[in-house]
Amino acid sequence: MHHLATLTFLAVALLPPILQAQDPAPKPPRPAIKKINDAEYKIGKVHLNKATREISFGAGVNLTEGLLEFIIVNQKGKIHESLFISDISPLNLNIALKLLGIKESPELFEIVDEDYRPTGQYPEVDPKTKAAARMDIFVEWGKQKKRVTLNELILNNVTEKTMDPGPWLNTGSYIHEGKFKAEVTGDLIAVFTSQPAMINYPGKDRENDDIWITNTKRAPKEGTVVKIIIKPHQP
């Protein structure tokens, strides 16, 4: 019980600073953390396994035709452009990522000047943080628990080739007007670079919004219930 109380305290401490403000902003609700055993916890509907170093949550196949800008959104997100839909809270996922030690890196987002004009420059992020911000994402479904990398389910519409293997990047979203932006937009994982989204694809063609589609030869059928698994990247 003492360990669970400690973990709850850490989760609250890991909330974005502006969300911890008590005056005049209302105090945020404590994350709903439930201890399953010595290694496993539930943060809302997000499952954290510290022994296997995995985060997992449920989702459903949402889009098998049409262009993709997002990979996972919740009910608030851009459902018409997302491969999967989930009912988890982005804030709970953010806490799980932090508790697992996955860092945030803003390296994909161009710096703007005081008039919000692009400068052509990008944030400098040290190599250790870059490495710690990367993750491998898997999708599992069916009685046989078939597991594939997320990349295998995404197809380049121009080359007609599967997305290259590689990690995804925890970009962390941001705070706007006292609110965690991903919680407002419902955007969890983006394949077309999105600053409000929590996780982004850092590879080639990440800024092209008319290139990615569902790989229907590998992806399960629309409506299939799946499990999303996130692990720290293993080079």
| 47: in domain | no
Q: Is residue 103 part of a domain?
A: yes
What is the reported pLDDT for 118?
83
Q: What is the pTM of this model?
A: 0.85
Count Cβ neighbours within 10 Å for each residue of 21-45 and write b for 16 or more, e otherwise.
Answer: eeeeeeebeebebeeeeeeebbbbe
Is residue 73 one of the residues assigned to a domain? yes
- The β-bridge partners of 46 are 43
Say if 62 falls within a structural domain. yes
Sequence length of the chain is 235
Tally of structural domains, the chain: 1
Is a pLDDT exceeding 70 seen at residue 139? yes
Residue 141 lies in a domain: yes
Instruction: Give 71's pLDDT tier (boundaries 50, 70, 90).
Output: very high
User: Does residue 17 carry a pLDDT above 50?
Assistant: no
Examine residue 46 and state whether it is found in any structural domain, yes or no: no
User: Smallest Cα–Cα separation from 81: which of 73, 92, 89, 90?
Assistant: 73
In a domain, 19, yes or no: no
The reply to whether 108 falls in a domain is yes
> What pLDDT score was predicted for residue 117?
87
Identify the domain containing residue 78 by its residue range: 58-232
Average pLDDT over residues 75-82: 96
**Tens of pLDDT, residues 186-234:** 999 999 999 999 999 999 998 888 999 999 999 999 999 999 999 999 8
CA angle 193, 12, 129 (to 5 degrees): 45
